């Protein structure tokens, strides 16, 4: 999602895994009921296991059989990393408070780099094969110098090899040299229901084989900057060290991998997110086979279709996603998809959210042909696109510079000026107008000076007069969709036409 519409998030998405030496120097956690299932449910589930209920509260789930069956397959993952940050700064280093004094008045004193420091990280994982393959989070083992796996019996530990990591889904596959290991039973997250009991087993703050429980709060969650994972949201207590551990249903089946928490403090606040097990297994198979993950790409930037935008394009509903920009020479460009098109279906599947399209495209095979149903200027049409492989890294783009002299505000309340020839070349566009001022109804939108306007609804323009003419065609009080570029991002912004 572009920064144009991204709201300031007060709470920070925190990786729930890797603790550092500073993290471990904490007071022992006080007793808390955050991991205890709440009583008083109007329709309690039948406890798993046998009918023995002596000493237990009847009507609440019993997690003891689950722990007994799956606990042995959960492991503690310990990593070490070398860094040059932290600690006491060396004399003459940039971190030394007297560094500037020595630099100015004693330049012959050499600058001493800070000393290397070894830090330790903690995470969790679970065994998926008897010959030692283990699933965990990418952020648990990424950039680690050494990875050690401690088994649940606390008597055996092994050096682990990182088979591969996939940062886009936060999945990693590691392997230890052992056989005959206990393995976790894998389930199906699609069968999960909101409100269903689930449990997590892991090593929060290094306390191995800790179980916490709660319910499924939501499914298919989309988080900022996370395009390829439909997260499972729970209220299971997850803390640093839990990352990479399994999320289990009452049958003792792994339905997800605990990955993130949403927190204002750095600790658990009731919002935990797990990666569906199907996503993790698909990634692990590719990592085991080739050491990397391949995904297809369409070559478009998209945004959520709001009601105002849908109306401006002549759609009755806000189903579909809006194409904000098309990569030159990419699969969508070759197929004839244009900025301003609304993608309604991909290979026959309805696109009902902006998060769904990237997942469908990524799960396709590079080189395969996809049928994309689009809405363009009042009618539907199908286009065929041959998908490319998604590169591992994207190239940084250039940011627009301010334009030339301003002109008077138009009926949208915008003061704009033309891009110079050099600015157009830098941006790779044929024509555009730089926003110099924002007034009236436009002031109520995310538009700001420095934004570059490239199109009105689905029509491009080649002069200020043509731009104003396109705006003037719109009825007073209606919304016009402006294609706006800000830095590397492109987005359609609805602006109401003044009367």
143 is catalytic: no
pLDDT at site 115: 55
pLDDT at site 391: 74
- Residue of 243, 259, 272, 325 marked active site: 243
pLDDT at site 45: 47
Which residue from 4, 8, 15, 310 is spatially nearest to 142, judged by alpha carbons? 15
The torsion angle over the Cα atoms of residues 419, 423, 428 and 430, rounded to 10 degrees, is 30
Backbone angles phi, psi at 150, to 5 degrees: -105, 125
C-alpha–C-alpha distance, residues 496 and 442, integer Å: 7
pLDDT at site 123: 94
Count CB atoms within 10 A of the CB of residue 471: 20
CA 320 from chain centre, in angstroms, equals 20
| pLDDT tens readout for residues 353-395 | 888 898 899 888 889 999 999 999 889 999 999 998 887 543 3
pLDDT for residue 41 is more than 50: no
pLDDT for residue 113 is more than 70: no
| pLDDT tens readout for residues 411-426 | 777 878 888 776 777 7
C-beta of residue 142 within 8 angstroms of C-beta of residue 269: no
Count CB atoms within 10 A of the CB of residue 181: 20
pLDDT at site 31: 36
At residue 406 the predicted structure's pLDDT band, cuts being 50, 70 and 90, is: very low
Which residue from 125, 395, 411 is spatially nearest to 284, judged by alpha carbons? 125
Average pLDDT value for residue range 242-252: 94
C-alpha–C-alpha distance, residues 84 and 90, integer Å: 11
pLDDT at site 3: 44
C-beta of residue 481 within 8 angstroms of C-beta of residue 463: no
The pairs formed by 89-98 with CB atoms below 8 angstroms and a separation of 24 or more are: 89/114, 90/114, 90/115
The percent of residues in the chain predicted with pLDDT above 70, rounded, is 76
Backbone angles phi, psi at 198, to 5 degrees: -145, 165
Here the tokens at position 338 are: 């244009």
Residue 13 exposed, middle or buried by CB count within 10 Å (0-12, 13-18, 19+): middle
| pLDDT tens readout for residues 185-222 | 999 999 999 999 999 999 998 888 899 999 999 998 88
364 is catalytic: no
- Locus of tokens 């088979």: 163
243 is catalytic: yes
Here the tokens at position 378 are: 């009042």
pLDDT at site 398: 34
Side-chain half-sphere exposure of 111, counting CA atoms within 13 A: 11
Range name among 55-69, 100-114, 136-150 with the lowest pLDDT average: 100-114
C-beta of residue 302 within 8 angstroms of C-beta of residue 343: yes
At residue 476 the predicted structure's pLDDT band, cuts being 50, 70 and 90, is: confident
Count CB atoms within 10 A of the CB of residue 206: 15
The torsion angle over the Cα atoms of residues 220, 223, 225 and 230, rounded to 10 degrees, is -10
| pLDDT tens readout for residues 266-275 | 778 889 999 9
pLDDT at site 437: 76
Per-residue b or e along 313-344, where b marks 16 or more CB atoms closer than 10 Å to that residue's CB: bebeebbbbbbbbbeeebbbbbbebbbbbbbb
C-alpha–C-alpha distance, residues 496 and 499, integer Å: 9
Which residue from 120, 129, 76 is spatially nearest to 243, judged by alpha carbons? 76
pLDDT for residue 82 is more than 50: yes
- Residue of 2, 96, 166, 170 marked active site: 170
Range name among 6-10, 449-453, 464-468 with the lowest pLDDT average: 6-10
Range name among 136-150, 437-451, 477-491 with the lowest pLDDT average: 437-451
> Which domains can be identified in the chain, with CATH numbers?
11-20+61-86+116-293 (2.40.10.120), 296-389 (2.30.42.10), 414-496 (2.30.42.60)
Here the tokens at position 60 are: 């609440």
Average pLDDT value over all residues in the chain:
78
The torsion angle over the Cα atoms of residues 236, 242, 245 and 247, rounded to 10 degrees, is 0
| pLDDT tens readout for residues 324-336 | 889 888 899 999 9
C-alpha–C-alpha distance, residues 29 and 22, integer Å: 15
Here the tokens at position 187 are: 């389930």
Write the DSSP assignment of 51-66 as a string of letters.
S--TTS-TTS---HHH
pLDDT at site 114: 55
C-beta of residue 45 within 8 angstroms of C-beta of residue 61: yes
- Residue of 96, 139, 325, 364 marked active site: 139
Q: Which of 163-177, 305-319, 414-428 has the highest mean pLDDT?
A: 163-177
pLDDT at site 127: 96
Side-chain half-sphere exposure of 19, counting CA atoms within 13 A: 23
């Amino acid at each position: 999602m572009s920064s144009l519409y991204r709201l300031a998030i007060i709470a920070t998405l925190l990786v729930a895994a890797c603790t550092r030496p500073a993290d471990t120097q904490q007071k022992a956690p006080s007793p808390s009921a955050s991991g205890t299932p709440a009583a008083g449910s109007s329709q309690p589930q039948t406890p798993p296991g046998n009918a023995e209920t002596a000493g237990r509260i009847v009507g609440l789930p019993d997690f003891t059989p689950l722990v007994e069956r799956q606990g042995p397959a959960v492991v503690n993952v310990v990593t070490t990393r070398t860094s040059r940050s932290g600690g006491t700064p060396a004399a003459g280093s940039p971190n030394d408070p007297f560094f500037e004094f020595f630099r100015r008045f004693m330049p012959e004193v050499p600058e001493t780099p800070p000393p290397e420091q070894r830090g330790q990280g903690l995470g969790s994982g679970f065994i998926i094969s008897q010959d030692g393959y283990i699933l965990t989070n990418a952020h648990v083992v990424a950039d680690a110098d050494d990875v050690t796996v401690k088994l649940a019996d606390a008597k055996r530990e092994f050096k682990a090899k990182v088979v591969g990591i996939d940062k886009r889904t936060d999945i990693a596959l590691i392997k230890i040299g052992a056989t005959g290991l206990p393995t976790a039973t894998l389930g199906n997250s699609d069968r999960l229901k909101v409100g269903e009991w689930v449990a997590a087993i892991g090593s929060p703050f290094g306390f191995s084989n800790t179980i916490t429980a709660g319910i499924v709060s939501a499914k298919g969650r989309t988080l900022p900057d996370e395009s390829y994972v439909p997260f499972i949201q729970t209220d299971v207590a997850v803390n640093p060290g839990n990352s990479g551990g399994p999320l289990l249903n009452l049958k003792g089946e792994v339905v997800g991998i605990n990955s993130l928490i949403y927190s204002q403090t750095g600790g658990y606040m009731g919002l935990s997110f797990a990666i569906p097990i199907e996503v993790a297994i698909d990634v692990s198979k590719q990592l085991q086979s080739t050491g990397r993950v391949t995904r297809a790409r369409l070559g478009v930037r998209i945004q959520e279709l709001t009601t105002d935008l849908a109306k401006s394009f002549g759609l009755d509903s806000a189903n579909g996603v809006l194409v904000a920009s098309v990569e030159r020479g990419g699969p969508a460009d070759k197929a004839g998809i244009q900025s301003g098109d609304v993608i309604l279906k991909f290979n026959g599947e309805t696109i009902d959210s902006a998060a769904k399209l990237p997942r469908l495209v990524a799960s396709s095979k590079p080189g395969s042909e996809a049928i994309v149903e689009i809405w363009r200027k009042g009618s539907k049409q199908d286009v065929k696109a041959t998908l490319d492989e998604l590169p591992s890294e994207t190239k940084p783009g250039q940011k627009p510079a301010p334009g030339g002299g301003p002109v008077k505000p138009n009926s949208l309340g915008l003061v704009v000026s033309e891009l110079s020839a050099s600015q157009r070349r830098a941006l790779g566009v044929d024509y555009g107008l730089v926003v110099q001022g924002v007034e009236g109804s436009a002031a109520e939108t995310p538009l700001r000076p420095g934004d570059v306007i490239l199109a009105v609804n689905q029509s491009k323009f080649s002069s200020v007069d043509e731009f104003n003419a396109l705006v003037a065609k719109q009825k007073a009080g209606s919304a016009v969709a402006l294609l706006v570029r800000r830095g590397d991002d492109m987005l359609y912004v609805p602006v109401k036409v003044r009367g």
